[in-house]
Chains A and B, each alone.
Chain A
Amino acid sequence: MKKTLVILTRNPLSLIGLILVGLVVLSAVFADFITPFPEHVGAVVDFSNFNKPPQWPNIFGTDLVGRDLFTRVVYAYRISLILGIVVLAIAVPVGVAIGLAAGYLGGWTEYLLMRITDVFLSIPPLVLAMSVMGLLEPTLTNGMIAVTVMWWPWYTRLVYNLARSEREEGYVLAAEVIGASKLHIMFREILPNCVPSILTKMTLDFGFVILIASSLSFLGLGVQPPTPDLGSMVAEGAKYLPDSWWLTVFPGLAILIAVFGFNLIGDALREILGVDQ
């Protein structure tokens, strides 16, 4: 782990990725201390300052009701990160467990589990998430549920294929011979050999989860006002382009930085851990 971090800092691209992600995470964690107007997160109205271009102390400008845009972008990061963590924390274990079971046990289990997975994979992700959101109320929790529902099958697919090939390895046979249980073989023998691939995909996915969540709120199906969200900020600001450009550009850049940073780290991890896909 420590060695991986050292290698990450050597490669210039992954170093940039680390710095970007570090900035995003730190700003989200310490949002209360670095933002000039923490109270602007909620339903605050300050019409004397509305729609101002970037200037001191509003370095990103202000929005249509006079709230500081920088404050809102930083708090939106916090929400995006929480969403990303929760989605992956649910989707990855579920997807991995199903993939392991299908890949190692084979037979009817494999057919059943993989066909269900295929059904989910055959629906375009955004359409699936939109229909889930359409059925439920548009809130942060339901947004997480929607993204999670569309996310786990990718991990099932990945781990299923890995488990299929690991199943034929000598150490799995050796474990079977000394009488190891199926659960032991799945989780203690095969799973550790899949971790590099899973880890790489998780890092790459983190950016995409943020992007999909933003897309959902851009379409009005995500987090609802007054909670700050990058996607809905872009959507709202887009109506006032090009005059009030800061309303769109800064939240958009914020999404770009986060997604770009996680992707750079993911790519670097892929190389370091020797995952090739």
Chain B
Amino acid sequence: MTTPTLKIENLTLGFKTWSGTAKVLHGISLHIKKGERVALVGESGSGKSVTARIVLGMLQQLKSARITGSVEFEGVNLETLKPASRHALRGTRMSMIFQDPTSSLNPVYPIFTQFKEVLERAQPGITNEKARERAISALADVAINEPDRVLDSYAFQLSGGMNQRVMIAMALANNPALLLADEPGTALDVTVQAQTLKLMSALVEKHHTSVLFISHNLGVVREFADRVYVIYKGNIVEQGPTGQLFDDPKHPYTRALLSAVPRITGGGIPDLDDDPSGFTAPLATHDGYSERELLA
């Protein structure tokens, strides 16, 4: 058994406020093996994005955040790392893709300048020619037809789909071990979203990158992920392989979530059970897919 790329154990997060601590995560455990694509699914405010921020080490800087539990990246506990070596991981060994690609690119610099900055993270002092060469091949990988023109353009001159592909190319440029995708494509229309996700899927397979895919879009998750964790109010409520989880949801919350997906054949939004008491039922795992069994 090789060490998983990312292993989160019993992670809790609270925010200290004037009136006590607001608990956000109640001890979640998940892991991603090398080259695996794992989805974290849940509604808004369920704790998906903060999990990604903790992995990147960006919430730890916040004075009001109270974090317990362990986050291991390639077998190293991130809490024991010095800030400097932890900082060195960002942008090189782990990177992130965001929801809104256009605002994630600085409007005052052409794409190339920003691409070079990303490459410089892994290779300080890279020359312009070398950076350009690598940027062009990275953009060609995400099916951008005129990489030269795109590199000299500004983010606002490109379409949302192109920007997202640029972001994907940048995120994978340094060959990270882990890619955190925080609702990529939510800001894009459905067809473009499908295209970019397909590209991303092919690319992470090629690079053997592990992906933590954060989304509320179940259709996308079903297409993209190998395994799924369902998160509800800071608790993992169900976990299992994608196919099984979608065909045979075991947890009441997952069932409610799945029935809320609009269907082309159905008659609009279904009536949801008004009684969410079942949603807090304990974790449901599919056979052979509990944390203990998978990490054994």
Contact = CB atoms under 8 A, between A and B. Distances in A.
B103 A193 contact: no
Interface residues of B, number: 25
23 contacts: A169-B103, A170-B98, A170-B105, A171-B104, A171-B106, A171-B107, A174-B96, A174-B98, A174-B104, A174-B167, A176-B58, A177-B56, A177-B90, A177-B91, A177-B95, A177-B96, A178-B90, A178-B95, A179-B89, A179-B90, A179-B121, A193-B106, A195-B108
A231 to B, nearest CB: 39
A-B interface, 8 closest residue pairs, ranked by CB to CB distance from nearest: A178-B91, A170-B103, A179-B90, A170-B104, A192-B108, A171-B106, A179-B91, A174-B104
A174 B104 CA distance: 6
A19 interface: no
Contacts of B121: 178-179
A25 to B, nearest CB: 28
Residues of A contacting B: mostly: helix
Interface string A154-195: 000000000000000111011111111000000001001101
A175 B91 CA distance: 9
Contacts of A180: 117
**Taking each of B58, B87, B117, which has the highest tally of chain A beta carbons within 10 Å of its own beta carbon?**
B117
A179 B122 CA distance: 11
B88 interface: yes
B100 interface: yes
Given A171-B105, A179-B121, A193-B108, 12 more contacts: A107-B63, A169-B103, A170-B100, A171-B104, A176-B58, A178-B91, A178-B118, A178-B121, A179-B87, A192-B106, A193-B106, A193-B107
Interface residues of A, number: 16
Contacts of B107: 171, 193
Residues of B contacting A: mostly: mixed
B215 interface: no
**Taking each of A107, A169, A175, A179, which has the highest tally of chain B beta carbons within 10 Å of its own beta carbon?**
A179
Interface in B31-72: 56, 58, 63
Interface in A172-220: 173-180, 189, 192-193, 195
A180 B109 CA distance: 15
A174 to B, nearest CB: 4
B105 A179 contact: no
A137 to B, nearest CB: 44
Nearest to B102: A170
A189 B106 contact: yes
B99 to A, nearest CB: 8
Contacts of A107: 63
B92 interface: yes
A51 B63 CA distance: 72
Interface in B80-96: 87-92, 95-96
Contacts of B102: 170
Contacts of B118: 178
A96 to B, nearest CB: 15
A68 to B, nearest CB: 49
B58 A177 contact: yes
A13 to B, nearest CB: 28
A177 B108 CA distance: 19
Nearest to B105: A171
B184 to A, nearest CB: 13
B104 A173 contact: yes
A192 B103 CA distance: 15
Nearest to A196: B108
Nearest to A192: B108
Nearest to B100: A170
A169 B105 CA distance: 9
A107 B63 CA distance: 10
A189 B106 CA distance: 7
A176 B121 CA distance: 12
A179 B88 contact: yes
A192 B102 CA distance: 17
Contacts of A189: 106
**Taking each of A176, A178, A180, which has the highest tally of chain B beta carbons within 10 Å of its own beta carbon?**
A178
Contacts of A175: 106
Nearest to B52: A177
B16 to A, nearest CB: 15
Contacts of B88: 179
